[in-house]
């Protein structure tokens, strides 16, 4: 609970949010000062027609809305990629484990392959999510996800060292997994026709492709020039708004409130977009990537248990004339 509150408060300390509050406060103070100095009378001679102000506000709102819509689209895409990634890893692993059921090789050799496979898959998903959150960009350790692995210390030391020393850890672990599967086919641990086994390679490839598609959300930012333009628009609105507001209000307090509210809302939209620049990053407080990794680990552990179980079969308690299912119940009452 404490960490959650800390993360929420951290969202309120981004430069975009703080800048919006400061700009809105200065705008409100300027409006109050203008009113107290009699600006509600002489400012009417200086400000342009109200239509000009309306056009400026409309344009500024459209720019802020576009940036916010872009950030929300990234968030939706990131959520889709997050679950599609783990689903592809699980699909490939499930198929490969099932393909080993009728192998004639010793049980120890089959178990060696399965145990290694699930650990590599857990490692690949964790490495993918860790890369997407941008760990190597100087982000504080407190505000990044920490992903659980399925007993990585049980992999041989050479494998661990090669993965850690690799510059492209996800791709390196991916290639190791493919080589592991090919070796299992050669050793006749996987006794399935090639056209069927190739589906598992396609699932692995789909997972890697999903990872690279997700990188465009995590790594590709808005152009600096566009961000600069939005900043200039905010400053312009913050400067002009008090001059217009002061000609319509009846007090210094109302001048401050209306000016502060209008400028702050525009800046707040910009702050929301800034907080969603990378939904995979824990500090954005959007996607819970750690829970997805834990769920995948639980699913992989379940696959290990099912690999040793018998296939399901129908057992009738008595010969039924109808030969149909006579007892029906819901899943909750099963």
For 275-332, how does the pLDDT look when each residue is reduced to its tens digit (9 = 90+)?
777 777 766 667 788 889 999 999 999 999 888 788 887 776 654 545 555 555 554 5
Better-scored residue on pLDDT, 130 or 329: 130
Beta-carbon contacts of residue 85 (< 8 Å; ≥ 6 apart): 125, 128, 129, 207, 210, 211, 214
Number of residues assigned to the chain = 334
Give helix 169-186 / helix 157-165 axis angle, nearest 10°: 140
pLDDT at 140 > cutoff 50? no
Give the CA distances from residue 49 to residues 45, 170, 227, 247, 269, in Å, rounded to whole numbers and listed in that order: 10, 59, 29, 12, 27
The reported pLDDT for the residue numbered 99 is 92
* Mean pLDDT, rounded, of the chain: 82
pLDDT over 70 percentage in the chain: 84
| Per-residue confidence (pLDDT) for residue 219, from 0 to 100 | 77
Once rounded to an integer, what is the mean pLDDT over residues 43-51? Answer: 75
Lowest mean pLDDT, pick from 48-57, 73-82, 197-206: 48-57
Please report which confidence band the pLDDT of residue 223 belongs to, taking 50, 70 and 90 as the band edges: confident
- Residues 140-153 have a mean pLDDT of 74
Q: Which pLDDT score is estimated for 86?
A: 92
Decide: 99 and 189 in contact? Cβ < 8 Å. Answer: no
Residue 206: pLDDT band with limits 50, 70, 90: very high
Residue 249 has pLDDT above 80, yes or no: yes
Question: Would the pLDDT of 230 be above 70?
Answer: yes
Q: What is the per-residue pLDDT for 65?
A: 82
Instruction: Say how far apart CA 210 and CA 216 lie, in whole Å.
Output: 10
CB 124 within 8 A of CB 177: yes
* Count of beta carbons in the 10 Å neighbourhood of residue 283: 18
As a whole number, mean pLDDT of residues 68-95 equals: 89
pLDDT of residue 285: 65
Q: How confident is the model at residue 124 (pLDDT cuts 50, 70, 90)?
A: very high
Q: Give the per-residue pLDDT at 8.
A: 55
For residue 154, is pLDDT > 50? yes
Q: What is the DSSP letter of 318?
A: S
Question: What was the pLDDT predicted at 11?
Answer: 56
- CA-to-CA dists, residue 94 to 49, 101, 111, 261, angstroms: 68, 12, 14, 55
pLDDT category at 95 given cuts 50, 70, 90 is: very high
Q: Are 12 and 284 in contact (CB under 8 A)?
A: no
**pLDDT score at 331:** 45
Q: According to the model, what pLDDT value does residue 301 have?
A: 92
pLDDT at 233: 85
- Averaged pLDDT, 204-210: 94
pLDDT at 262 over 90: no
pTM: 0.77
Least confident window among 26-40, 46-60, 78-92, 135-149: 135-149
Residue bearing the bigger pLDDT, 235 or 49: 235
Q: To 10 degrees, what angle do helices 107-132 and 169-186 make?
A: 160
The segment with the largest mean pLDDT, out of 148-162, 222-236, 284-298, is 148-162
End-to-end CA distance of the chain, in Å?
Answer: 36
Q: What percent of the chain has pLDDT over 90?
A: 28
- From CA 290, how far away is CA 126, in angstroms rounded? 9
């Amino acid at each position: 609970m404490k960490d959650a509150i800390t993360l929420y408060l951290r969202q309120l300390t981004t430069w975009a949010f703080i800048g919006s509050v400061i700009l809105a406060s200065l705008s409100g103070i300027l409006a109050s000062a203008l009113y107290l100095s009699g600006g509600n009378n002489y400012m009417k001679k200086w400000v342009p027609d109200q239509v000009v102000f309306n056009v400026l506000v409309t344009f500024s709102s459209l720019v802020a809305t576009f940036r916010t819509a872009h950030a929300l689209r990234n968030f939706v895409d990131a959520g889709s990629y997050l679950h599609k990634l783990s689903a592809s890893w699980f699909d490939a692993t499930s198929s490969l484990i099932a393909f080993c059921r009728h192998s004639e090789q010793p049980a120890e050799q089959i178990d060696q392959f399965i145990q290694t496979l699930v650990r590599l898959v857990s490692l690949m998903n964790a490495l993918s999510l860790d890369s997407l959150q941008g760990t190597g960009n100087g982000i504080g350790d407190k505000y990044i996800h920490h992903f659980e692995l399925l007993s990585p210390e049980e992999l041989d030391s050479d494998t661990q060292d090669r993965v850690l020393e690799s510059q492209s850890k996800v791709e390196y672990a991916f290639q190791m997994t493919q080589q592991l599967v090919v070796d299992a086919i050669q050793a006749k641990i996987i006794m399935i026709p090639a056209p069927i086994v190739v589906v598992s390679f396609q699932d692995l490839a789909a997972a890697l492709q999903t990872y690279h598609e997700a990188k465009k959300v995590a790594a590709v930012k808005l152009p600096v020039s566009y961000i600069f333009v939005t900043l200039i628009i905010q400053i312009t609105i913050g400067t002009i708004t008090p001059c217009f507001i002061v000609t319509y209000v009846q007090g210094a307090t109302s001048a401050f409130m209306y000016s502060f509210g209008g400028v702050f809302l525009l800046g707040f939209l910009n702050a929301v977009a800034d907080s969603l620049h990378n939904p995979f990053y824990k500090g954005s407080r959007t996607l819970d990537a750690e829970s997805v990794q834990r769920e995948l680990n639980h699913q992989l552990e379940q696959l290990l248990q099912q690999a040793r179980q018998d296939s399901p079969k129908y057992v009738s308690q008595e010969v039924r004339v109808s030969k149909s299912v006579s007892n029906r119940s819901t899943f909750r009452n099963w």
